[in-house]
């Protein structure tokens, strides 16, 4: 399921709801929030809720958000909520030029919460030597809370493969009250 915009001029499309969905068997992510404006602005979505989703047995990721990456101020997506979701058996794609096999990965977001989710058995096919998958994580993000989740049995054939991560470009964010094991 891809929620996509290529509108420019920093347009934020509002009120996206995705709930009670099972997404499996895709060569990309099961759920993908994606913004790729031709003008390279921070266009995207705001007021996004992804709840009660099971995203499993996909190649690249279970649940993913990204936007047009630039060092310009701002983020593509605002106020993103991911709750009560299960992401598992998203094993990754060997020999890619980016990390693959994530459970939940949000990038280019300002204001997000990921809670009461479970991520497991993701990432084993990632072979990228410079970066790997994680069960639940964010990068290039601001004001994110990751809480009350369980992440386990995540792995990588190269690097990373952890349970939780606040990665590069993350500010004003917290990982709290989670359970990570056997990664």
pLDDT in tens, 29-39: 999 999 999 99
CA dihedral 42, 43, 47, 52 (to 10 degrees): -100
Handedness of CA 163, 165, 131, 29 (dihedral sign): positive
Q: Is the per-residue pLDDT at 71 higher than 90?
A: no
What are 61's two structure tokens?
């990721």
Each residue of 89-134: pLDDT tens digit? Answer: 999 999 999 999 999 999 999 999 999 999 999 999 999 999 999 9
Whole-prediction pTM: 0.97
pLDDT at 147: 98
């Amino acid at each position: 399921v891809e929620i996509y915009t290529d509108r420019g001029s920093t347009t934020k499309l509002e009120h996206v709801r995705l709930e009670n969905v099972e997404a499996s068997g895709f060569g990309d992510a099961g759920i993908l929030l994606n913004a790729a404006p031709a003008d390279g602005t921070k266009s995207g979505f705001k007021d996004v809720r992804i709840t009660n989703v099971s995203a499993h047995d996909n190649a690249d990721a279970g649940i993913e958000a990204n936007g047009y990456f630039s060092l310009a101020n701002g983020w593509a997506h605002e106020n993103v909520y991911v709750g009560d979701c299960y992401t598992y058996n998203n094993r990754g794609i060997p020999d890619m030029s980016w990390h693959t096999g994530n459970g939940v990965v949000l990038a280019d977001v300002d204001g997000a919460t990921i809670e009461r989710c479970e991520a497991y058995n993701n990432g084993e096919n990632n072979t990228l030597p410079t970066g790997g998958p994680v069960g639940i994580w964010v990068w290039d993000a601001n004001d994110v809370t990751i809480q009350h989740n369980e992440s386990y049995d995540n792995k990588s054939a190269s690097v990373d493969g952890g349970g939780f991560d606040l990665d590069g470009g993350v500010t004003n964010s917290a990982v709290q009250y989670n359970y990570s094991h056997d990664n």
